[in-house]
Amino acid sequence: MTNSPLATYQPDQRALALIGGEATDANLRRYLHGIPGIDAVGLEARAADLGTRSIKTSSKRWAIDTIIGLIDLTTLEGADTPGKVRSLVAKALVPDPGDPGTPRVAAVCVYGDMVGSAVSALGSAHAAGGTDGVNVAAVATAFPSGRASLAIKLADVREAVAAGADEIDMVIDRGAFLAGRFGQVYDEIVAVKEACRRADGSMAHLKVILETGELNTYDNVRRASWLAILAGGDFIKTSTGKVAPAATLPVTLSMLEVVRDWHRLTGVRIGVKPAGGIRTSKDAIKYLVTVAETVGEEWLSPRLFRFGASSLLNDVLLQRQKMTTGHYSGPDYVTID
């Protein structure tokens, strides 16, 4: 299916060709409601089934290191300070001081005004969109609620990009989505994507947060995923972490299915980021299994998959130490950030 002419289109043309006209509410509704529905019981059963895979010995060792390299180590508190961000960056660079062979995380994820602190704390270890080092992701667009004017959201994005953010985690307007104003959601994503453009013409990576806990149904999650991808998102992300439920395995599975179908349709690879609520290695391994068996192993790369998490890293490190030494240590044998 990837030999479809859609593969050769520019992204914006591709979306319009698929929708069959301009990105109006009516056209988008027709398209999004034409996508096959999701049976919630069946989806959850499939996710539970994937969760029973038994990942042992060498597979587990590989999984543990892979998980670390996929983490967006996050601090998103009202109480964040440059000092807290420096500490987070230090943890991102050296997750386990007792084992220099421990991989680094993919990125640190902070509020827009902390981007400068993160970039300077990283110094030469700032990957700046590459794979060598750690990237800086910034939440933007009036995160987490998204309740601000478009001008403010775009200014939020531009400031973060100008301060050196490599990745922008935007939120969609859930109110507009639930009210059926799909065109508005689409246009905002397009505008935010444009605001990710730097002076030199390069683009910060755009992750689109759906806030699945507020969308409530899997059908909504699927439609919002298609909408975000049509509008040009590089990644689709489950949650802000500020709304419960945040990431769940079935929600992530449903988003991975969209990404798989988009790849079949256009040949383009979109990333997925479950965020919030993933705290243990055991859970994270279930996500790796789900990714590998749904879209393929190729997606187990920071370019295409991330975990948005803060406490996950230390649990993974405890497991890693256990696999090395053969015995469990305790919370005081891993560092806090």
Partner 1 sequence: MKFLDYAPAPESQALLNLKSDYGLFINGAFTAGRGTPFHTINPATEQQIAMIATANETDVDAAVSAARHAYDGVWSRLSGSDRGKYLFRIARLVQERARELAVAETLDNGKPIKETRDVDIPLVAAWFFYYAGWADKLDHAGVGPNPASLGVAAQVIPWNFPLMMLAWKIAPALAAGNTVVLKPAETTSLTALLFAEILQQADLPAGVVNIITGDGSTGATLVNHPGVNKVAFTGSTSVGRAIARSIAGTDKKLSLELGGKGANIVFDDAPIDQAVEGIVRGIFFNQGHVCCAGSRLLVQESIHDDVIDRLKRRMQTLRLGDPLDKNTDIGAINSAEQLARIRELSDLGEQEGAERWSADCEIPANGFWFAPTIFTNVSTSHRIARDEIFGPVLSVLTFRTPAEAVAKANNTPYGLSAGIWSDKGSRILAVADKLRAGVVWANTFNQFDPSSPFGGYKESGYGREGGRHGLAAYLKPAVRSGSRSIIAADHRTPSVTKKSASAGKKSVSAEKAAK
| CA atoms of 234 and 247, how far apart (whole Å) | 18
Q: What is the number of alpha carbons within 13 Å of residue 220 lying toward its C-beta?
A: 17
Quote the least distance from Cβ 8 to partner 1, whole Å. 21
The sign of the dihedral angle between the CA atoms of 17, 22, 27, 29 is positive
Quote the least distance from Cβ 68 to partner 1, whole Å. 15
Q: Based on the shown chain and the rule CB under 8 A, indicate whether residue 43 belongs to the binding site for partner 1.
A: yes
| Catalytic annotation, pick one of 153, 193, 207, 273 | 273
Q: Based on the shown chain and the rule CB under 8 A, indicate whether residue 91 belongs to the binding site for partner 1.
A: no
DSSP string, 85-152: HHHHHHHHH-S-TT-TTSPPPSEEEEEGGGHHHHHHHHGGGB-TTSSSSBEEEEE-SSTTTT-S-HHH
Q: Based on the shown chain and the rule CB under 8 A, indicate whether residue 87 belongs to the binding site for partner 1.
A: no
Q: Based on the shown chain and the rule CB under 8 A, indicate whether residue 42 belongs to the binding site for partner 1.
A: yes
Nearest CA-CA partner of 119 in 131, 134, 97, 139: 134
Q: Contacting partner 1 (CB under 8 A), which of 3, 5, 10, 56?
A: 56
Quote the least distance from Cβ 71 to partner 1, whole Å. 17
Task: Looking at residues 263 to 322 of the shown chain, list those that interact with partner 1 (rule: CB under 8 A).
Answer: 288, 292-293, 297, 300
| CA atoms of 243 and 213, how far apart (whole Å) | 6
Quote the least distance from Cβ 46 to partner 1, whole Å. 5
Smaller CB separation from partner 1, 63 or 118: 63
Q: Contacting partner 1 (CB under 8 A), which of 7, 17, 26, 39?
A: 39
SS3 203: strand
Catalytic: 169?
A: yes
| CA atoms of 293 and 285, how far apart (whole Å) | 12
Residue 290 DSSP code: H
| Catalytic annotation, pick one of 207, 237, 261, 315 | 237
Q: Could you give the residue numbers annotated as active site?
A: 169, 237, 273
Question: Residue numbers of the site for partner 1 (CB under 8 A)?
Answer: 1, 36-39, 41-43, 45-46, 52-60, 62-63, 66, 257, 288, 292-293, 297, 300
